[in-house]
Every structure is written in C-alpha cells, then in structure tokens.
Amino acid sequence: MAKLVTIYGGSGFIGRHVARRMAAQGWRVRVAVRKPNDAHFVRTYGVVGQVAPVFCNIRDDDSVRAVMTGSDAVVNCVGILAEHGRQTFEALQEAGAERIARIASEEGVDRLVQISAIGADSESASAYARTKAAGEAAVLRHMPDAVILRPSIVFGPEDSFFNRFAGMARGGPVVPLVGADTKFQPVYVDDVAHAAAMAALGEARPGVYELGGPDVNTFRELMQHMLTVVQRKRVLLPIPFWMARIMAGGFGLIRKVSLGLIREPLSSDQVANLRRDNVVGDGVMTLADLGITPTALEAVLPDYLWRFRPSGQYAAIKDSARNLRKS
C-alpha cells in the first residue's frame, strides 16, 4: 500500500501545494482541516480516493491523533497572520505545533516537517514571531530530526500579500506602506512546497532551512513592481512606525468594541513585525542545499495579478491593438 502523509492545514495557501506534490509522488494524502466541506478541491490533486480532506481541530489531542494514525510523514502548515477569537498565535503556532510533534513522536511517525517563518525569535516584540519560535522549539524537543522551513514572504496565485495590495491599488489613488524600507526576499509558494515534499520524502537533511527567492527588495520596491504589473499609477505613501502604532491601536479598539465582528486591517503585532528585515540569514541552510533553484518574482506575478489591471484579461489585447495603430 502507498505511504500516507497527513498535512495539517493542507487546504491553505502553502498546504495545498504540498498536497499536490505529495500526491504526484504517489503518496496517499490526508488533508487535516477545520472545514473539510470547504476543502473538497484537494481531491482533484490525485486519483479517486488518493487525497482526502478530513476534520481536525489542532487544539484537541484526540482530534490530532485520529487523523495522524497510520501516517508515515506529517507536515504542519498551520499558521495565522492575525488572531481571531480562539484562533490565537499561542493556541495554533505554539501549543498546536507542540501537540502535533508530541503525538507524532508517540505514534512513531518517521518524519515531521514544520512550516515556520523567517524572523521566528523568542525575544521578538511580535507575538507572531515569538510563538513561531516557541513552536519550533517544541517540535525539536519531541522530534529532534524534524525539518523546519522558514520562508520569507510567500507569493503565488492565492497569496495574501500581493493580491491584497493590488486590490488596494485598484480601489484608490494611494497605497499606504508601513515599513517602506523593510527588506523582503519573496519566495514562490511551489518552491516552499517542493522543499516540504523533499523533507517529507526523507530527501532533506534534518534541521532549519531559511527559504527566500533570488532577489532582496524593500517593501517600496516590491510595491513599485506590483504597480507596474497591474498597469496602474498610484502614490506609495510611507507611514512612520509611530503613526502606524497609533493607527493599529485604534483599529484594535474598534475590533474589541465590535466584539470581533470588524477585523483590523493593521494590528500592533504586524507593525512590530514590519520593523525587521525578512531575509535569509548568513550561514543557514537554504533552497540551494536542497538543490532547488528559486523562482523569480517576475516569472510568476503577471500570471495572477492581471485581474487587477484596468482592462483585466483584455489588457494584452488592447496593448497589441494600440501597437497596430501606431504602425
């Protein structure tokens, strides 16, 4: 019988790409999610019955164990950028990661892959970064031979970074930037999934890998490139950190008053994160150690941001017609 991998958060942005790659390798794939009825699309990644979405609440031992039983490998892709209700950084990124690793050890799982993030730091001012670090420590405590992947900003068709700001550019003349000079090293989602699949297959050395693309750019430079791709001229407005903290505090108050019904577009934790560069460090294992050539931003961004252009899918046709008139 084919080997089995359980992917926690397997219908999410990164998880779905990992699921597709593991299915292509002939593995049975169990996609553990909170809402399996919203994850039926993962079934199309393999032959009938090969990929199955199943319910799991990673805040519960029995739930985590039930979907892990019989697994040869486990990949934890669960993570959040903002807290909402009981979905907190501590509950998911720290306690959840610890629970998955502890049960994987108890169940005798061969390999565990943890998706973390560049900037994971137990001393960080950001709860997001602190809980990522705590989750890593817990994983290594229970599964010393685990592979931990720390990507920079991840881009791809379903990303919440370029899509979000391209949407803002479509909706108004100004795009506000908190941390305009902060540096990022965007990495393509399928490159991250490739690394995770290699680790699950036992083709990667245990340890921590920091994953970044071929180029390092400031936030401002990335947004300038995005505007070029979506063919819009907008004012990029840098927001000082002191002002961003005040704004985030106000948004947080609105969220509390609305009992969580209104989510803040910017949180104090995100402001703290944006103060630090998000790039691959020196002397660490990277995509190169896995034999993976990182994909350039320019090769992918136009393939999914075209819908934010003034003419959408017809932009190329209009450009071609314009050239014909000139000739």
* Burial bucket for residue 91 (CB in 10 Å: 0-12, 13-18, 19+): middle
**pLDDT for position 258:** 81
* Burial bucket for residue 220 (CB in 10 Å: 0-12, 13-18, 19+): middle
pLDDT class of 259 with cuts at 50, 70, 90: confident
CATH code: domain 4-156+186-215+278-295 is 3.40.50.720
**pLDDT for position 262:** 80
pLDDT class of 319 with cuts at 50, 70, 90: low
pLDDT digits (tens, 9 = 90+) for 299-313: 999 999 999 999 777
As a whole number, the mean pLDDT across the chain is: 94
pLDDT digits (tens, 9 = 90+) for 261-286: 788 889 999 999 999 999 999 999 99
Residue indicated by tokens 């017609």: 321
Kindly state the tokens that stand for 255.
């969220």
**pLDDT for position 173:** 94
Residue 231 CA neighbour count, 13 Å, CB half: 14
pLDDT digits (tens, 9 = 90+) for 193-240: 999 999 999 999 999 999 999 999 999 999 999 999 999 999 999 999
Structural domain boundaries in the chain: 4-156+186-215+278-295
Q: Answer for the pair 165, 192: CB distance below 8 angstroms, yes or no.
A: no
List CB contacts of 286: < 8 A, sequence separation 6 or more: 209, 210, 211, 212, 280
**pLDDT for position 314:** 65
Does residue 325 have a pLDDT over 90? no
Does residue 168 have a pLDDT over 70? yes
**pLDDT for position 292:** 98
Does residue 322 have a pLDDT over 80? no
